Amino acid sequence: MRRRGCLVTLGVFALLILVCCGLGFFVGLPQLRDTFEDGIAEGVSTQVSEQLPAGELPPGTYTISLTELERQLSTSVDTQNVQGISLSAAGDRLELGIETDTNQTLTYSGQPVAENGRLVMQDMDANNGALEFFLPADQLGDALERGVNDYFAVRGLEIASIELEADQIVVEATQ
């Protein structure tokens, strides 16, 4: 009888571990992804609104500084394992680097384009499979898109073109 009790106890314990792992995967991981995505979108949106004029905007060309955007993102992402964030233009691609507390730099990159009056991050990828598991590149692209598109949409403007020039994103906006 004693062995049977031990087996039942081990079975219950294994079931509890399985339930905890399932909760972590199906509840905790999406929550972590959403928190990071929201931090990026909020940081981009805040910095875009600080860099560009407030209120109504006429159609025209607007410039967003990557240095200032990087600074804002570094302060708005609230995770204990991130030591720094870098943002740069590499040709026609935008690169977001995340330096971890283990001195590893994880990089996302994508090509910003204007499509149907909105910013769209195309061909998003990450240089690390584990990073891709925790925050898929497309989800990060969505956060960057949301941060810029919301600013222009609220002002009734559409994005006609986007170019990366040195340390800037140059946006041509129309009505």
Residue pair 163/63 in contact (Cβ under 8 Å)? The answer is no
**Does the pLDDT value for residue 78 go beyond 60?**
no
Residue 11: pLDDT band (50, 70, 90) is confident
Residue 160: pLDDT band (50, 70, 90) is very high
Span 64-81, average pLDDT? 75
Q: Residues 114-128: pLDDT tens digits?
A: 999 999 999 999 888
Looking up tokens 């810029």, which residue turns up? 148
Q: Residues 25-57: pLDDT tens digits?
A: 676 667 777 777 777 777 777 777 788 887 788
Which burial class, exposed, middle or buried, applies to 88 when counting CB atoms under 10 A from its CB (0-12, 13-18, 19+)? middle
Give the H/E segment covering residue 108: strand 105-115
Span 6-35, average pLDDT? 72
141 versus 6: the higher-pLDDT residue is: 141
Model-wide pTM > 0.85: no
Residue 159: pLDDT band (50, 70, 90) is very high
